Amino acid sequence: MLNRITITGRLTHDPELRTTQSNISVTSFSIACQRNFKNGNGERETDFFDVTAWRSTAEFVTRYFSKGSLITVDGRLESRKYTDKDGNNRVAIEIKADNVYFGESKENKETSQTSASPVSNSEDFVPDFSTAEVTGDDDLPFDEFPPFPG
């Protein structure tokens, strides 16, 4: 079975880093994702998704993202059942983040423009890809993909 989700949206509030009793870093945040179509009234609706990140991913999010930041989250969906304070059975669905990426460059964030600039949270630095040139497939170091083994 495959359970993967990749979603891009804007943080609805500043993420706060917390630690468990076992001293493991965790943060929870919500992202707003505008739908790419308009409803019957001609308006774009927005969906809100809860996200939880652990360990170095949580530290990365709280260090580099704030309310309004465009973020891409790659992870899995998890659901959990619980009973609310009124005794009603409920289901919570949230995204458990495995990786997060910048959805815009620092320069674009300052001017409120958006562009994809993925940077994995596994690195302690943020490389600048804005000067990279891609000229086409002719620059690839191979002609075709190697055959599958077996």
89 part of a folded domain: yes
The token duo for 116 is 């994809």
The residues pairing with 40 across neighbouring beta strands, listed in sequence order, are none
Cα gap 140→89, rounded to integer Å: 55
- Dihedral-angle region of residue 21 (phi above 0 means left; psi in -120 to 50 means alpha; beta otherwise): alpha
Mean pLDDT within 70-99:
96
Is it the case that residue 106 has pLDDT exceeding 50? yes
148 part of a folded domain: no
Q: What is the pLDDT of residue 105?
A: 73
All residues at 6 or more sequence positions from 122 whose CB lies less than 8 Å from its CB, including other chains: 56, 99
**What CATH number does residue 33 fall under?**
2.40.50.140
145 part of a folded domain: no
29 part of a folded domain: yes
Is it the case that residue 122 has pLDDT exceeding 50? no
Q: How many domains does the chain have?
A: 1
**pLDDT, tens digit, 9 for 90 and up, residues 34-78:** 999 999 999 999 999 999 999 999 999 999 999 999 999 999 999
Rounded to two decimals, the pTM is 0.67
147 part of a folded domain: no
Q: Which domain holds residue 33?
A: 5-139
105 part of a folded domain: yes
Q: What's the gap between Cα 76 and its chain centre? A: 11
103 part of a folded domain: yes
Write the single-letter amino acid at 120: S
146 part of a folded domain: no
Q: What percent of the chain has pLDDT over 70?
A: 70
